Chain A
Amino acid sequence: MAAAVAARGCGGVWRRVWQYGAGGPRPSSRGQWAAASSARGAVVPVGKSGLAPWVPVVGLEIHAQISSNSKLFSGSQVQFAAPPNSLVSFFDASLPGTLPVLNRRCVEAAVMTGLALNCSINKKSLFDRKHYFYADLPAGYQITQQRVPIAVNGSLSYSLCIDNKMSQMVTKTVRIKQIQLEQDSGKSLHDDTRSQTLVDLNRAGVGLMEVVMEPDMCCGEEAAAAVRELQLILQTLGSSQAVMAEGQLRVDANVSVHHPGEPYGVRTEVKNINSLRFLAKAVDYEIQRQIKELENGGTILNETRAFDSKLGCTVPMRDKEGKQDYRFMPEPNLPPLILYDAKSLPANMNHQQVVNIDWIHKRLPDLPSVTRAKLVERYGILPEHSFALLNEDGLTEFFENVVKQTQMKPKKVIGWILNVLLSYLKQHSLTVKESPVSSVLMADLLNLLEKKEISSTAAKQVFAELWKGEGKTPLEIVKEKKLELIQDQKELEQICQAVIDGQENEVMAIKAGNLKVLNKLIGLVQRETQGRSNPVLVKQLLEKKLSE
């Protein structure tokens, strides 16, 4: 049973099986798979190298901050950077006599997210208190949904590229156990020098959606890909801005390893993961650490570990007071949350008090997977291109704008967008919005290329000039740098003839049947014209002359 479930996460057809010791994988994002390539593709039988294979199991708990104006249970503002304790109401500070009042927008955000992740929405969900003591939790408990959350039993499909080449993508699915609404805690700033903690409650009470993913993943790459897709979905829905760097998306990973056919191993929880890259690293490190520990005869403790990004490893977290007893109890101040659909809609209720699941369903925007499929269908680009477009904020829009304004086929345009524009943006760490080359300029450039007024090489030179952002148009740059292709056929013929006349040996070789030498002549013509000749045309002219 354990083996079957493990197989699900790593694909039925091929399975990533970790083998430590056989030049085992290093915990560095992409290069590791080269070393483990013998283990990929099939379960390595015991005895082949003396080491039993390991199956890693990875589950994720993701907290996404809801994008709303005010907090989950109070009317104080939600904002990232603000003076300490300025966005705190009496309820957030847990002063006696205050009560929680549920924010409708947060409920809608959770329903949208649940629908997008194919969950069943619970028409009746309940709120509970989870008790623990910590300075950034002034009430001593967090209001959450432990018994009956707002959404359950969904799924998330994501894609991975095998081979690091983006040429082969494989689709995987991870089950979503549940989505629940809960409060965020405040922020603690640890001042070790003065042995104190400074507490800022601005974040206390902000609405969170906790998305629990079942342990269907088997490595850091899968975990990162799943989270990336979730991030895109949340951003598309607008239910969360999901920026990890600003703490709007926090991921905790649950990792364990076991031998195929045996029960699941003891799992550890890994926290303090601040980016997708670190998520992959942390998970892979922890898998390797557990394998190493177990192969050395040690045991894995069911503990919480923190990822140290500087050292690239996980360390046990201090200040963990053994197993916590959260003393869950129903939140006595909140009745059950009732959601409606078209059938159950009550006739006389104030419509501001009603959350209609069907109404929300109808207004869901296209999810990333749908957008990608539409791009592939509409423009004839490859699936991996659509992934690259959606992966960069604003790139899809840019691409579509260029396509609208140029005669060049989208299949060719995409190459320029992904290989030229995107690589420049990455090199200079700029976002699409900050690009010095606008879609208009890019379209102009591609039009010149399409009309064969310049060569492809010349176009790249023009792009480099445009990147400087000096306000010149592509045509101006072409004229300035004299990059136009020679259009005068007679002039070209003269140059071809001159080259032929000067290369007797090569001409003889070609006439004798060695056609590869023709490329040398084309090259010489290109040199003569300083790259301003159309190689296809040159080849034709040379061939014509040589056959005379």
Chain B
Amino acid sequence: MRLLSVARCLRSGGLLLPPVPPGRAALSVGRHDQQQQQPPQPAVTVEVLDHLEQLALVDFRDAEGVERLRKAIQFADLLHQVNTDGVEPMDSVLEDRCLYLREDDVTEGNCTNELLKNAREKVEEYFVAPPGNIPLPKLEERETFLKGS
């Protein structure tokens, strides 16, 4: 079953943001099997969260932020309940669309002043940045909610 149809099923069941597990999802799996079908949820550990903060520079801020993440993972895990044997993975709803090809003409650019208006600091029409990537301080040294976990 494709993603679109799964989404349609969930929506028609009135489950835009289903709690865990979806009681009425009309999927190919029988209700009784749902508990067993769900894969063991990986613990969302402090290490994982720290790694995510480093990689994506997000700040989980407080318990509510972390809980929202856990819920999001649970929601995504619903996909494991769908039987996708022999189904091509779909990674974009645009897959049947035509990729538009543009002619190789110069149609943009020449707006240095406008772009530089966004810069906090500039030097002679160059953007100014720090000398290199400033690494996020280690967990122990950060002001982060995760420290207390």
Distance A91 CA – B102 CA, assembled complex (angstroms): 15
Chain A interface size band reads 35 or more
Residue interface bits A9-34, CB-to-B below 8 A is 1, else 0: 00000000000000000000000000
Q: Is the interface of A mostly helix, strand, loop or mixed?
A: loop
Distance A475 CA – B95 CA, assembled complex (angstroms): 72
Smallest beta-carbon distance A78→chain B, Å: 8
Chain B residues positioned under 8 Å from A321 (CB to CB): 133, 135
Distance A197 CA – B121 CA, assembled complex (angstroms): 11
- A334 contacts B106, C-beta separation under 8 Å: no
Distance A442 CA – B7 CA, assembled complex (angstroms): 77
Given contacts A76-B109, A335-B95, A84 and B125 within 8 Å (CB-CB): yes
Given contacts A69-B104, A134-B133, A335 and B94 within 8 Å (CB-CB): yes
- A353 contacts B101, C-beta separation under 8 Å: yes
Whether a CB of chain B sits under 8 angstroms from the CB of A102 is yes
Chain A residues positioned under 8 Å from B128 (CB to CB): 196-199
Whether a CB of chain A sits under 8 angstroms from the CB of B43 is no
Whether a CB of chain A sits under 8 angstroms from the CB of B131 is yes
Residue interface bits B62-106, CB-to-A below 8 A is 1, else 0: 000000000000000000000000000001101111111111111
- B124 contacts A84, C-beta separation under 8 Å: yes
Q: Which residue from chain A places its CB closest to the CB of B101 in the assembled complex?
A: A104
Whether a CB of chain A sits under 8 angstroms from the CB of B129 is yes
Chain B residues positioned under 8 Å from A134 (CB to CB): 133
Whether a CB of chain B sits under 8 angstroms from the CB of A86 is yes
- A133 contacts B123, C-beta separation under 8 Å: no
Whether a CB of chain B sits under 8 angstroms from the CB of A77 is yes
Residue interface bits B119-140, CB-to-A below 8 A is 1, else 0: 0000111111111110100000
Whether a CB of chain B sits under 8 angstroms from the CB of A261 is no
Given contacts A75-B109, A198-B126, A325-B55, A353 and B100 within 8 Å (CB-CB): yes
**In-complex Cβ contact of B133 among A87, A90, A133 (8 A):** A133
Q: Which residue from chain B places its CB closest to the CB of A198 in the assembled complex?
A: B126
**In-complex Cβ contact of A335 among B97, B111, B131 (8 A):** B97
Whether a CB of chain A sits under 8 angstroms from the CB of B33 is no
- A77 contacts B104, C-beta separation under 8 Å: no
- B126 contacts A89, C-beta separation under 8 Å: no
Q: Which residue from chain A places its CB closest to the CB of B51 in the assembled complex?
A: A325
Distance A352 CA – B12 CA, assembled complex (angstroms): 42
Distance A336 CA – B132 CA, assembled complex (angstroms): 35
Whether a CB of chain A sits under 8 angstroms from the CB of B116 is yes
- B108 contacts A89, C-beta separation under 8 Å: yes
- A104 contacts B129, C-beta separation under 8 Å: no
- B104 contacts A68, C-beta separation under 8 Å: yes
Distance A268 CA – B83 CA, assembled complex (angstroms): 43
Whether a CB of chain B sits under 8 angstroms from the CB of A200 is yes
Chain B residues positioned under 8 Å from A336 (CB to CB): 92, 95, 99
Distance A107 CA – B103 CA, assembled complex (angstroms): 11
Distance A133 CA – B134 CA, assembled complex (angstroms): 10
Whether a CB of chain A sits under 8 angstroms from the CB of B28 is no
The stretch among A165-173, A186-194, A402-410 that forms the contact with chain B is: A186-194
Whether a CB of chain A sits under 8 angstroms from the CB of B107 is yes
**In-complex Cβ contact of B102 among A87, A103, A188 (8 A):** A103
- B55 contacts A75, C-beta separation under 8 Å: no
* Chain A contacts with B in 138-191, Cβ cutoff 8 A: 188-191
Smallest beta-carbon distance A237→chain B, Å: 16
- B98 contacts A198, C-beta separation under 8 Å: no
- B112 contacts A104, C-beta separation under 8 Å: no
- B101 contacts A85, C-beta separation under 8 Å: no
Chain B residues positioned under 8 Å from A195 (CB to CB): 130-131
Chain B residues positioned under 8 Å from A135 (CB to CB): 127, 129-130
Distance A93 CA – B112 CA, assembled complex (angstroms): 10
Given contacts A83-B125, A197-B130, A330-B91, A104 and B102 within 8 Å (CB-CB): yes
17 contacts between A and B (CB under 8 A): A70-B105, A75-B107, A84-B112, A84-B126, A103-B104, A104-B104, A126-B91, A134-B133, A135-B130, A189-B126, A195-B130, A197-B131, A199-B126, A319-B132, A330-B92, A335-B97, A337-B99
Residues on A close to B: CB < 8 A? 68-70, 74-77, 83-91, 93, 95, 101-107, 126, 133-135, 188-192, 195-201, 318-319, 321, 325, 327, 330, 332-338, 352-353, 355
9 A-B pairs with the lowest CB-CB distances in the bound complex, closest first: A75-B107, A135-B129, A76-B109, A105-B104, A89-B108, A198-B126, A104-B101, A330-B91, A335-B94
